[in-house]
Amino acid sequence: MERFNAYRVMWVLILFDLPTETKKDKRIYANFRKNLLKDGFTMFQFSIYLRHCASKESAEVHINRVKRLLPEYGHIGILTITDKQFGNMEIFFGKKEEKRPEVGQQLELF
């Protein structure tokens, strides 16, 4: 099915560095992270979260949600790559290679 090929399926990566010096900063950081998790993002590394999307259009929906959550301070990057590109990533824990994260099958309703 053309619709779910490795070039159409997308991954959205959110890379962020937020201040955590004050209680208010820590609360803002925690809320940003909590909202990412609520929207289906998963922690890949500290301050790097990712989400699997069935299409570019779906990725845009989630990117727009993240943009509405952006805190006043800090650095946030949003990167979108195809499933094919994500599949070419080599992941290591120390010198030991790890498998790429398993993705549950997603059901798209119309």
Q: What is the pLDDT of residue 4?
A: 57
Q: What is the pLDDT of residue 1?
A: 45
Q: What is the pLDDT of residue 110?
A: 43
Per DSSP, helices labelled H in the chain are 23-38, 56-69, 83-87
Domain that includes residue 31, residue range: 2-83
Q: Is residue 63 part of a domain?
A: yes
Can you give the CATH number for the domain in which 30 is found?
3.30.70.240
Q: What is the pLDDT of residue 100?
A: 65
Q: Is residue 103 part of a domain?
A: no
Q: Is residue 8 part of a domain?
A: yes
Kindly report, residue by residue over 33-77, the tens digit of the pLDDT. Answer: 999 999 999 999 999 999 999 999 999 999 999 999 999 999 999
Q: What is the pLDDT of residue 47?
A: 94
Q: Is residue 47 part of a domain?
A: yes
Q: How many domains, the chain?
A: 1
b/e string for 56-87 if b means 16 or more Cβ within 10 A?
A: eebbeebbeebeeeeeeebebeeeebbbeebe
